Structure 1
Amino acid sequence: MTACADATAETADPTPDARGATVDEPAEVTVTHAQGETTVPVNPEVVLTFDLATLDTLDVLGIGVDGVPKSNLPGRLAAYDTDDHLDIGTLFEPDYEAVNAARPDLIIVAGRSSSALPELDKIAPTIDLSNDWADFRTSIEDNSRILGQIFDVEAEVDRLIADLDAGITRTREITADAGEALIVLTAGGEVTAYGPGSRFGFLHDELGVTPAIEDVEEATHGEAISFELIAETDPDWLVVVDRDAATGEAGAAAEQVLDNELVATTTAWSENQVHYVDPVDWYIINGGLGTLQRVVDEVAGAFDR
């Protein structure tokens, strides 16, 4: 299910305290997310997130969090690797003892950590802000609006989304006549391809770049391809994600993997139209308003010739 920004804010009627005076109950908002509906407090005090895309959006909005999976933090989010932030496990596996001890008001999961929601929800209200690869832009905007309602910053979210939409429109004007592109990911010396509807399909689906291959398998990890297929496809552009660089694993850099006689026959190679994307934004974070804006700006800069 794609997360939805349709949420209902609720404030309980004033109730008497021990002296007979009235006090307002904390406001709550009910949101529809990837795994159902959950009622959470507005402006929760203790927030834990296992989702880097959410962390990216909250960072752009200037909203702090109390706990993150420190072992998986990329350099761009190193500011959260401090003693002021709790270490709550990994992107895939929560440290339930640490989470419980934090006494959170809100827990956020997505993608890699989404299967942990049932257990985490026993500790505190937990929402799943997973992205939908088939409707990537909409899911990010919807998830951002949910955060806007929870943290009472809806106007700021709307402004950021308007900026993003304007950037996408400008980028589509640049890519309209740029030719065909093939998205490839290198890892351990192997190459996989991605197309429309995949985890990197935003390049085609929203930014208007014509795919060199229409029927690439729409899977998270792409479709394994050979250098011969790249040569036969002869894309005008190669858009390259270096997974080893993103994860810090040892291995040949993408530039080395693709530097061979077959790839050298392509138009992309001969025209110097091989673009190596920011692997952290595209592979590790892969979502969030700040990241998506950077991706849009990066594509516009690469294709503006």
Structure 2
Amino acid sequence: MTPIDYEYLQKILKDRSGLVLSADKKYLLESRLMPLARKAGVAGISELVQKMKAGSEPMISDVVEAMTTNETFFFRDKTPFEHFQNTVIPELIKARAGKRSLRIWCAAGSTGQEPYSLAMIMKEFGAALTGWRVEIVATDLSPEVLEKSRTGVYTQFEVQRGLPIQLLVKYFKQTGTTWQLNADIRAMVQFKQFNLLQDYAHLGKFDVIFCRNVLIYFDQATKTDIFGRLAKSSEADGYLFLGAAETVIGLTDRYQVCPNRRGVYLPVGVQVSLSIVPGMGAGLKTSSASIRA
């Protein structure tokens, strides 16, 4: 792979997905793209680049998908989901009592563990949300991971990562060495292909936006732009959840930190008042029991 090839791939990836590759990431690019080159029947990455430059849109899409990181697991980092269950949703239930409707967006849904974690939490509210319209929208750039998400099928390893055993028993059915989410949980989530660099207008407004562990791959200007778009897609008092390594500080004046709520943000000007609802966090307590096939 020549320096010109690398520069071309850097530009394509940034333009198409926002992903920024530094000069020291050639090894990562080679490890992800060499299997794709072999599959395409070409000798190496330079030949792959030539196909892309010749206008092969499917090849460009395959390269972008190959470079997209889809690392995720159920209730990842745990604390944000506790905030969501114990404080944010109870506050929104009070605030939305008139219209009895909640919209939640997972902006980087990957293989589905995050939106399904939220769906299980919402299900745990039971009678408190009877008669409510709860909509969970999960988007991702990759059609392949969205297809996996829709099936709700996970390996033994995947359900062992972060999923409390009581929720596994309650909401999954085991088939051989895999586990599938029950149909009622799968039906709570709409999966859509979407690029965070595109126009958000058609998605509508959301009460809660999870945009976790994706902005770390973007440069400062792209992060600022996305925060502006997210703010426009949020209800005036809507909540934004970011990953543990992400922040709005120094990047936007549209959001403020929620005190004592790591990773949770509100639009600037909204009065911050989050109180804990006793007893609502039981579903996220990690069991010491192991999960066996």
Shorter-chain TM range is: under 0.3
Give the structure-1-normalised TM-score.
0.24
Higher alpha-carbon Rg? 1
Q: Which has the higher helix share?
A: 2
Greater RCO, 1 or 2 (C-alpha within 8 Å, sep 6+): 2
